[in-house]
Amino acid sequence: MRHWSKGIRLGRTTLAPGPATIPHRYFSATAPQNNLQAPKLDPTMATSTTKTGQPLDRPVLDSMLRRRMFYTPAFEVYGGVSGLYDYGPPGCSLQANIIETWRKHFVLEEDMLEVDCTMLTPHEVLKTSGHVEKFADWMCKDPKTGEIFRADHLVEEVLESRLKGDKEARGQKVEIDEEKEAKRKKKAKDIKALKLDDSVVKEYEEILAKIDNYDGGELGLLITKYNITNPTTGGNLEPPVAFNLMFQTSIGPSSNLAGYLRPETAQGQFLTFQKLLDFNQQSMPFASACIGKSFRNEISPRAGLLRVREFLMAEIEHYVDPEGGKKHPRFDEVADVKLVLLDRKVQLSGSTNTTEMTIGEAVKSGTVDSETLGYFIARIHLFLLRLGTDPKKMRFRQHMANEMAHYAADCWDAELLTSYGWIECVGCADRSAYDLTVHTRKTGAPLFVRETRNEPLKIEEWQVDIDKKKFGPRFKKEGKTVEAAIEALDQEIREKLSLDLEKNGKIELEVPGTETGKVAIDKDLIKIEKRTRTEHTREYTPNVIEPAFGIGRILYSLMEHVYWSREGAEERGVLSFPPPIAPTKVLLVPLSGGHPDLKPLVKRLSQKLRRLGISNRVDDSGASIGKRYSRNDELGTPLGITVDFQSVHDNSYTLRDRDSTKQVRSDEDTICRAIQSLIEGQKTWADVQKELPEFTQQELD
């Protein structure tokens, strides 16, 4: 996701003038350190619920995910490094299944051209793209302690904590994140229950609703106006300064070639445009796609997998002819898809009220800029639903003016609601023609489309002829500079100069880089005439629609959306991944783990399922069958096969559904076919229940 000055952000609350008293979640310059766009993080988790509507206890979920090795802090035995995580076996499988689904949904379905671009990027490439100067967040420093704070996070959390104190003072119930509160008590002063004026509350809420729209200078003014200081010491802070988020390195043994670890995959795709266009037989429109690691040196990484310094991205660059109104031939297929939208006008009014409408209505009304942008927004929505995300916890938020790059026409983020608040997981931007244009200008490479016109086009224009035999001796070493200035003149200026030339016998031009900055050119050196030329080919630089997916953020948000616990067994969680997404598809459970009669059946079933491409695990421990199923519910395994003593006699098995715990029974081949249809998404458990007889009790002897 390619938003110049944004990282990831946490929370929303409110403040009163006075010393900041907030949970200290920033890093110290002297201490070990604990992407994409900043998430709107809820400070209380009050709106966070499980799949079944229970209040979500994030510490319990986090403990389960780490215990089951979905992910773990990297280099933990050395104390760990903030913002770096390792995925364990189920986390790796879950990530691989999300990527496989992404490839099917986008690369295969849209006939995209997938590339794998290098992560090392030369300095010149990122300087041309603007990353070297603009890819930054605003940070401020405590000059006495050396502590570093990300400015927008600091403002946001101080205001939120003051709003929280206001609620307490008014006697309103405030939900508390116990884990976060424990950290706050260790590192910051207590939050005072201080009632604010209603006007101040409204002012704070409006600032928080527009926090993405402030630049460094504006954040500095907010810090001064609201007396925001170091939350631990109360010390004053220096004004915000830009901090570039890219990891710098050198390429080669001489270290002469400066480079960076890429902050996105997009630049590699842009630079292969001409070769991809040739590969696609010069056919437009088309899209490239890339999946790979990107790196951002976050100022204050936090929120687990949501803000990290190394992350997996999946990015699409869809190239479209700007003259066609950015129409999409398949837009009608998605026109009726309903979306929850939060547009920029609502945000700038200080509100976060959403509107539900179809993407067809959104494009027709101009809320979304074009059909092609709308098409991909709808396809992103369908992809997230396919993964198993909760549609009630999904919205598309439009970027405000200060969030977008100056050359972008429109940009929307797919945000998912989690216990951290609204998290941007996918950005979908109309990038116009900026990247291809600047790289062409810098290198001279033909990163544009050249196509034969159906009918020749006649163009009337003012053309300039220079008598180069006389021009060189007249201007000498400044000749090329003057000539370049003449060639750059637009049609309106050429027309005016032709009149000056006819009237005065000469023209005068301002030419930076010459000795006087201005030159006079006599009519014996130059001729400016209106002529008609016929154009048989057309050259244009495509516009780019760019959907960019943060896989780690989607993965974590999905785990919160599918998590729940059974009534009476709250200590045991369940992850209800859809079967195609689940890390392991089938659990094989011999009723008596060590019984020699059951082992051959389990082995045969496991091999048969693997030959069908269905991942499975065997749990033949001495624990009860219920406990074995329960601990695999925590891994999200959707199906279970019980091998009992009846299986020995008639080769029949029970098949268990994770969510309902219902079971059916049939022969080996029928059970395997049912599993395959569930994994491929061809059938639901309800379909299987209708087709196969229900089973209620295992044969124990």
Q: For position 192, which CATH number holds?
A: 3.30.40.230
The CATH number of the domain holding residue 659 is: 3.40.50.800
Would the pLDDT of 310 be above 70?
A: yes
Do 278 and 316 share a domain, yes or no?
yes
Q: Which tens digits make up the pLDDT trace of 114-172?
A: 999 999 999 999 999 888 888 888 999 989 988 889 898 899 889 988 888 888 888 87
Does 341 map to a domain?
A: yes
CA dihedral 417, 418, 420, 424 (to 10 degrees): -50
Does 5 map to a domain?
A: no
Query: How confident is the model over 265-276, as a mean pLDDT?
Result: 96
Please say whether the beta carbons of 550 and 1 come within 8 A.
yes
SS3 640: strand
Q: What is the bridge-based pairing of β-strands 652-657 and 663-667? A: antiparallel
Q: What is the pLDDT of residue 175?
A: 60
* Domain enclosing residue 105, as ranges: 12-135+245-437+543-549
Q: Which residue type does 156 have?
A: E
Do 35 and 62 share a domain, yes or no?
yes
Query: How confident is the model over 578-605, as a mean pLDDT?
Result: 93
Confidence grade of residue 176 (pLDDT, cut at 50, 70, 90): low
> Comparing 25-29, 501-505, 697-701, which segment has the lowest mean pLDDT?
25-29
Q: How far apart are CA 539 and CA 551, in angstroms?
A: 36
478 CB contacts (<8 Å, ≥6 apart)? 511, 513, 514, 515, 519
Query: How confident is the model over 73-83, as a mean pLDDT?
Result: 92
Q: What is the pLDDT of residue 25?
A: 26
Residue with tokens 């009476």: 568
Query: How confident is the model over 343-370, as a mean pLDDT?
Result: 93
User: Measuring CA to CA, which residue among 578, 636, 414, 554 is closest to residue 102?
Assistant: 554
Q: Angle 89-102/371-387 helices, nearest 10 degrees?
A: 140
Query: How confident is the model over 307-311, as a mean pLDDT?
Result: 93
Q: What is the pLDDT of residue 190?
A: 56
Do 354 and 261 share a domain, yes or no?
yes
What percent of the chain stands above pLDDT 90? Answer: 59
Label residue 40 exposed, middle or buried (CB < 10 Å: 0-12, 13-18, 19+): buried
> Comparing 12-21, 357-366, 541-550, which segment has the lowest mean pLDDT?
12-21
Confidence grade of residue 37 (pLDDT, cut at 50, 70, 90): very low
Would the pLDDT of 178 be above 70?
A: no
Q: Chain-wide mean pLDDT for the chain?
A: 87
First to last CA, the chain: 59
Do 518 and 462 share a domain, yes or no?
yes
Do 131 and 144 share a domain, yes or no?
no
Q: What is the pLDDT of residue 24?
A: 28
Q: What is the pLDDT of residue 28?
A: 28
Do 286 and 420 share a domain, yes or no?
yes
Dihedral-angle region of residue 254 (phi above 0 means left; psi in -120 to 50 means alpha; beta otherwise): alpha
Domain C-terminal end among 210, 244, 278: 244
Q: What is the pLDDT of residue 177?
A: 53
Would the pLDDT of 243 be above 90?
A: no
Do 224 and 358 share a domain, yes or no?
no
Q: How far apart are CA 337 and CA 99, in angstroms?
A: 23
User: Measuring CA to CA, which residue among 438, 391, 587, 474 is closest to residue 125?
Assistant: 438
Would the pLDDT of 568 be above 50?
A: yes
Q: Which tens digits make up the pLDDT trace of 376-417?
A: 999 999 999 999 999 999 999 999 877 777 678 899 999 999
Q: What is the pLDDT of residue 698?
A: 57
Query: How confident is the model over 29-33, as a mean pLDDT?
Result: 27
Tally the residues of the chain. Answer: 701
Q: What is the pLDDT of residue 203?
A: 86
Please say whether the beta carbons of 406 and 397 come within 8 A.
no
Do 599 and 676 share a domain, yes or no?
yes
Query: How confident is the model over 407-434, as a mean pLDDT?
Result: 93
Residue with tokens 């396809």: 379
Cα angle: 120, vertex 310, 374; to 5 degrees: 90
Confidence grade of residue 195 (pLDDT, cut at 50, 70, 90): confident
Do 68 and 124 share a domain, yes or no?
yes
The CATH number of the domain holding residue 518 is: 3.30.720.200
Do 251 and 302 share a domain, yes or no?
yes
78 CB contacts (<8 Å, ≥6 apart)? none
Domain C-terminal end among 505, 539, 573: 539
- Name the token pair of 512: 């930076």
Number of folded domains in the chain? 4
Q: What is the pLDDT of residue 385?
A: 98
Confidence grade of residue 46 (pLDDT, cut at 50, 70, 90): very low
The beta strand positions in 296-393, using DSSP E, are 310-320, 338-342, 355-358
Does 572 map to a domain?
A: no
Does 576 map to a domain?
A: no
Q: How far apart are CA 50 and CA 41, in angstroms?
A: 17
Does 444 map to a domain?
A: no
Does 6 map to a domain?
A: no
Confidence grade of residue 181 (pLDDT, cut at 50, 70, 90): low
Please say whether the beta carbons of 304 and 65 come within 8 A.
no
Query: How confident is the model over 28-42, as a mean pLDDT?
Result: 35
DSSP β-bridge partners for residue 588: 618, 641
Do 117 and 146 share a domain, yes or no?
no
The CATH number of the domain holding residue 56 is: 3.30.930.10
Confidence grade of residue 430 (pLDDT, cut at 50, 70, 90): very high
Please say whether the beta carbons of 427 and 3 come within 8 A.
yes
Do 162 and 31 share a domain, yes or no?
no
pTM score: 0.80
Q: Which tens digits make up the pLDDT trace of 224-238?
A: 999 999 988 888 999
DSSP string, 539-576: EEPPEEEEEEEEHHHHHHHHHHHHEEEETTEEEEEEE-
Does 609 map to a domain?
A: yes
Does 3 map to a domain?
A: no
Query: How confident is the model over 182-208, as a mean pLDDT?
Result: 72
Q: What is the pLDDT of residue 477?
A: 86
